[in-house]
Amino acid sequence: KNQVEQSPQSLIILEGKNCTLQCNYTVSPFSNLRWYKQDTGRGPVSLTIMTFSENTKSNGRYTATLDADTKQSSLHITASQLSDSASYICVVSANFNKFYFGSGTKLNVKP
């Protein structure tokens, strides 16, 4: 069964601290993996997209890693800011055609 699981479900950190969000998947055949940021009441916005051959990709303070062997990905946020408070959703594509969404990690950055 194609599934995407994210952990933790929610996370509270202090402004300026780093954090890492996890995504495990069983989607096959794997095409690519995306991380989205979703602010409350808004649509998701893409942060990174990674294909099978990519191990790491950065977008400013966001760094995503992918281990295609263990089917795990992580999103690392450096020097968190209050504006990072949002839900982060991992999405895995199969056959470049179907998209499987995780339930998201809700991040709360406190001053």
Partner 1 sequence: DTGVSQDPRHKITKRGQNVTFRCDPISEHNRLYWYRQTLGQGPEFLTYFQNEAQLEKSRLLSDRFSAERPKGSFSTLEIQRTEQGDSAMYLCASSYSVGSSSYEQYFGPGTRLTVT
Q: Footprint of partner 1 on this chain (CB under 8 A)?
A: 4, 31, 34, 36, 41-46, 49, 89, 91, 93, 95-97, 99, 101-104, 106
Minimal distance, residue 21 CB to partner 1, in Å = 13
Rank residues 17 and 98 by Cβ distance to partner 1 and give the closer one. Answer: 98
Rank residues 76 and 101 by Cβ distance to partner 1 and give the closer one. Answer: 101
Rank residues 77 and 89 by Cβ distance to partner 1 and give the closer one. Answer: 89
- The residues with which 76 forms a beta bridge, in sequence order, are 20, 63
Report the candidate in 104, 102, 103, 98 with the shortest Cα–Cα distance to residue 31: 98
Minimal distance, residue 59 CB to partner 1, in Å = 13
Decide: 19 and 77 in contact? Cβ < 8 Å: yes
CA dist., res. 21 & res. 51, Å (int): 19
Report the candidate in 109, 102, 106, 108 with the shortest Cα–Cα distance to residue 35: 102
Minimal distance, residue 56 CB to partner 1, in Å = 19
